[in-house]
Structure 1
Amino acid sequence: MAQRRMTFRHIEAFRAVMAAGSMTEAARQLHTSQPQVSRLIAQLEAMTGLPLFDRSGSRLSPSLDGMRFHTEVDRAFVGLTSLEAAATRIRAFGAERLRVAAMPRLAGGLLSRAVARFKTAHPDVIVAIHSGDDETVNRWVSSGFCDAALTMIYGDAPDSRLEHVLTMDCVAVLPPDHPLGARASLRPEDFRGFPFVASPLASALRARIDAVFHTAGVEMTITAEAGLGSAICTLVSAGLGVSLMNPLAAYEEAKVSPILIRPFAPALPVRFALLFPPDHTRGRLMRAFGACARAMMLEELARLPGAAAQAVPEAIGNGSQALV
Structure 2
Amino acid sequence: MKLRQIEAFRAIMMTGSMTLAARTLHTSQPQISRLIGQLEGVAQFPLFERNGSKLKPTLDGERFYQEVEKTFAGLSSLESAAAVIRSFGRDRLMLAAMPRLAGGLLARAVARFKLEYPDVLVTIQSGNESNINEWVRSGLCSTGLAMLYGQTPGILVEPVITTNCVAVFPKGHRFALLEKVTPQDFAGERYISFPNTSPVRNQIDKIFNEAQVNPIIVAEASLGSSICALVGAGMGVSLINPIAAIEEATLNNIESRPFTASIPVVIGLLFPLHHPQSRLVRKFAQCAREVMEEELSPLCD
TM-score, normalization: structure 1? 0.64
State the SS of the aligned residue for 1:290.
helix
- Out of 162, 170, 174, which is 1:167 matched to? 162
Matched, 1:193 2:188: yes
**Partner Cα separation in structure 2 for residue 135 and residue 265 of structure 1:** 29
Q: Measure the CA separation in 2 of the matches of 1:308 and 1:273.
A: 14
Whole-angstrom CA distance in 1 between matches of 2:212 and 2:154? 34
Of 104, 113, 127, which residue of structure 2 is paired with 1:109?
104
- Counterpart code for 1:262: R
Query: In 2, distance between residues paired with 1:278 and 1:98?
Result: 17
Q: Which residue of 1 aligns with 2:68?
A: none
Q: Of residues 249, 257, 267 in structure 1, which corresponds to 2:252?
A: 257
Aligned residues of 2:148 and 2:266 also touching (Cα < 8 A): yes
Equivalent residue number for residue 210 of structure 2: 215
What CA deviation, in whole Å up to 9, does each residue of 1:34-72 have, x standing for no partner?
Answer: xxxxxxxxxxxxxxxxxxxxxxxxxxxxxxxxxxxxxxx
Q: Provide, for residues 226-254 of structure 1, a one-character-per-residue CA deviation record: whole Å limited to 9, x for no partner.
A: 11111111100111000000001110111
**Equivalent-residue separation in structure 2 for 1:296 and 1:212 (angstroms):** 32
2:230 — aligned with what?
Answer: 235
Give structure 2 stretches of 5+ with no counterpart: 1-88
CA contact (8 A) 2:161 2:300 kept: no
Alignment of 1:270-309 (within 5 A): 270-302=265-297, 304=298, 307-309=299-301
Partner-residue secondary structure (3-state), 1:254: helix
Whole-angstrom CA distance in 2 between matches of 1:160 and 1:180: 38
Code of the residue aligned with 2:181 in structure 1: it is L
Q: Which secondary structure state, in structure 1, belongs to the residue aligned with residue 225 of structure 2? A: helix
Q: Output the aligned Cα RMSD.
A: 1.2
- Give distance in 2, aligned partners of 1:155 and 1:243: 19
2:99 and 2:279 map into 1 onto residues whose CA distance is: 27
The number of equivalent residue pairs is: 213
Moved over 3 A (4+): none
Counting aligned pairs with the same residue, the percent is 50
2:133 alignment partner in structure 1? 138
Give the Å deviation of 1:212.
Answer: 0.8
1:122 matched to 2:104: no
Tell whether the 8 Å contact from 2:180 to 2:257 is kept in structure 1 after alignment: yes
Matched, 1:183 2:178: yes
How far, CA to CA, are the matches of 1:111 and 1:240 in structure 2?
31
1:204 aligns with 2:199: yes
Whole-angstrom CA distance in 2 between matches of 1:140 and 1:283: 17
Q: 2:239: which partner in 1? A: 244
Letter in structure 1 aligned against 2:143 = A
Structural mapping, 1:14-163, within 5 Å: 95-163=90-158
Question: How has the CA–CA distance of structure 1 residues 171 and 136 changed in structure 2, closer, same or farther, with 3 Å as cutoff?
Answer: same
Q: Distance between the aligned counterparts of 2:290 and 2:236, measured in 1?
A: 35
- Structure 1 residues 240-292: Cα deviation after superposition (integer angstroms, max 9, x where no partner): 00000000111011131100100001111100110011111112111100110
Matched-pair contact (CA < 8 Å) for 2:245–2:255: no
Larger of the two Rg values belongs to structure:
2
AA aligned opposite 1:131: S
- What is the aligned counterpart of 1:226 among 221, 224, 240? 221
Q: Does the 8 A contact of 2:179 with 2:257 survive in 1?
A: yes
- Is the 8 Å Cα contact of residues 91 and 120 (structure 2) preserved in structure 1? yes
**Which segments of 5 or more consecutive residues in structure 1 lack a partner in the other structure?**
1-93, 310-324
Q: What is the one-letter code of the residue matched to 1:220?
A: P
Letter in 1 for 2:157: L
Q: Distance in 2 between matches of 1:308 and 1:125?
A: 33
